[in-house]
Amino acid sequence: MEAVNVAVLGAGPHGLAATAHLRRAGVDVHVVGDPMSFWHTMPTGMLLRSNWTATCIAEYQGQLSLDAYCTETGARFGKPISLERFLEYGAWVQRQVAPDVDRRAVERLTTDGQGFRLHLNDGDSLRVRRVVVAAGIAPFAYRPPVSADLPGEFASHTGDHREPARFGGRRVLVVGGGQSALESAALLHEAGAHVQIAVRKDHLTWLHGGRYHRMLGKWAPLVYAPTDVGPMGLSRLVAVPDLFRRLPRRVLQEPVAHRSIRPAGAAWLQPRLVDIPIHLASTVHGLTVSGDEVHAQLSTGDDLAVDHVLFGTGYRVDVTRYPFLPPSLSNRLQRVGGYPVLRRGMETSVPGLHIVGAPAAWSFGPIMRFVAGGWYAGQSLAQVISSSDRRRGPGSTPRAVRQVA
């Protein structure tokens, strides 16, 4: 049975960021996963809401940044950045930091108290001293209970569909007022679907992004961090997780986090939605299938007959829903709701088990939900794990594989 020092489970932006920083620190890393797999499921034609720096994987300045990618490859990006260009950039980062990625799937993660064992889908297994879970948010897609009894042909989540064109000519009700719901509605409309939107709030919130940066000019970096999460001023606060996590939770952390990630759409979506009926202050109280259509009963009293209901209702973290974590392991995790409680180095209450990405948001703040959160997580992992390796002494870890310069 092969033995490795650290296994990173996942090869998306957070997994690649973790791998980059760990290998730079000289840590032996075995990366397991299908590179950028979650992003490959996102809808064709999607544009990223994040700005230039916040779209960078692992670092916004340096050898893995978007600027470095464009310089090396000659690539040219429009703004906002398209999904297709981001996937090309992600593939380039993967080739730089994890050319040896193991594309097998992890079916089960177990521990015997001395380390961990990865049980892979080909029947093989690996013994690992530490595990970094960077498995993304796909298992956390949230559909409200009102849709529980509806089969997939009548109701689904925005994360379920790659090709908006499949809904061409059909009547679709999109539920939600955030970026995912609003952009999905725009893409469906442009693909020929007859779209309506139901939004729980009595208004839509729009993010104007670069407008305020342009107004502030050279002073913008004082109130806006490169991570691009949160409004003016708060952006700087949430960009420092070591500070944010020390704030009083109920008095400051919770309201600041809510304000920084409230449902909102990029302002460039507005002209693409002008022909779409939007039902504000409307929640879906009931869904009834009648023949080939769904009747959606709204809180306003409206009864909408549609062919499909698409929920842009986001993701709710619950690490026990990772299919490779058996109850014998997940039940040992200290959790708040579905979030693991993490300490320095993104380490859980199970020694040697680290979790990065959105599940780290309860412990380290809202930037963990975004690509830019990988910058901090990767550095924190590298500091803790490399220092632990040094304390163990020379010869205590397996031979390091290719490092990122």
Tell me the percentage of the chain whose pLDDT exceeds 70: 96
Listed by start position, the domains of the chain span: 2-137+315-392, 145-205+263-311, 206-260
The model's pLDDT over 128-171, given as tens digits with 9 standing for 90+, comes to 999 999 999 999 999 999 999 899 999 999 999 999 999 999 99
Q: Which of 336, 371, 343, 347 is nearest to 357 (CA)?
A: 371
Answer whether 2-137+315-392 and 145-205+263-311 agree in fold: yes
pLDDT recorded at residue 2: 66
Say yes or no: domain 145-205+263-311 is CATH 3.50.50.60.
yes
List the beta strands (DSSP E) in 114-273.
Answer: 116-120, 125-133, 155-157, 171-175, 194-198, 206-207, 265-266
What pLDDT, on a 0 to 100 scale, did the predictor assign at position 324? 98
What is the SS3 assignment for 144? coil
More confident residue, 2 or 299: 299
**pLDDT band, residue 396 (cuts 50/70/90):** very low
> pLDDT value at position 269?
97
Mean of all residue pLDDT scores within the chain: 93
Question: pTM score, two decimals?
Answer: 0.93
52-77 residue pLDDT tens: 999 999 999 999 999 999 999 999 99
Query: 34: closest CA among 90, 84, 111?
Result: 90
> What are the pLDDT digits (tens) for 298-312?
999 999 999 999 999
CB 93 within 8 A of CB 64: yes
236: Cβ–Cβ under 8 A, 6 or more apart, which residues? 222, 223, 224, 225
Q: Does the pLDDT of residue 211 top 90, yes or no?
A: no
- Structure confidence at residue 393 as a pLDDT band (50, 70, 90): low
CATH code for the structural domain at 2-137+315-392: 3.50.50.60
